[in-house]
Amino acid sequence: MQVIIALITGLLIGAGIYRLLGGAKIDIIIGLILISQGGNLIIFASGGLKHNAPALLTDEATNAASMADPLPQALVLTAIVIGFGILAFLLTLLTRSSKA
Partner 1 sequence: MNPLTSILIALLTPLIGALLALASRTRPKLAVTSAVTASAITLAASISLAWATRSGDVFAIHAGDWQAPFGITLVADTFAAIMLVVCQLVIVASVIFCAKTLDASYHRRFLYPLLMTLSFGTNGAFLTGDLFNLYVWFEVLLLSSFALMALLRGEDGHAAAWRYVVINLIASLLFLAAAGLIYGKTGTLNFAELRVRFSEAESSFLINSSAALLFGAFGIKSALIPLAFWLPAAYPKLPPALSALFAGLLTKVGLYAFFRVFGMVFSDGTAFPHQDVLFVVAVVTMVGGVLGAVGQGEMRRILSFHIISQVGYMALALAIYSPLALAAGIFYIGHHIIVKANLFLATGLVEAHAGSSDLSKTSGVMKTSPVIAVLFAIPALSLAGIPPLSGFFAKFSLLHSALQLSDWIGAAAIALVGLLTVFSMLKIWRAIFWGDAEPREAKPHPLLNLTSAVLGLTTIAIGLAAGPLFEIAQTAANGLIDPQTYLEAVLSTPL
| Residues engaged in binding partner 1 (CB under 8 A) | 20, 25, 28, 32, 35-36, 38-40, 42-48, 71-72, 75, 78-79, 82, 85-86, 89-90, 92-93, 96-97, 100
Least distance in Å: CB of 89 to partner 1? 6
71: which residues sit within 8 A by CB, 6+ positions away?
Answer: 47
Least distance in Å: CB of 61 to partner 1? 19
Residue 60 per-residue DSSP state: S
Cα–Cα distance between 36 and 48 in angstroms, integer?
20
* Shorter beta-carbon distance to partner 1: residue 56 or 60: 56
Amino acid at 86: I
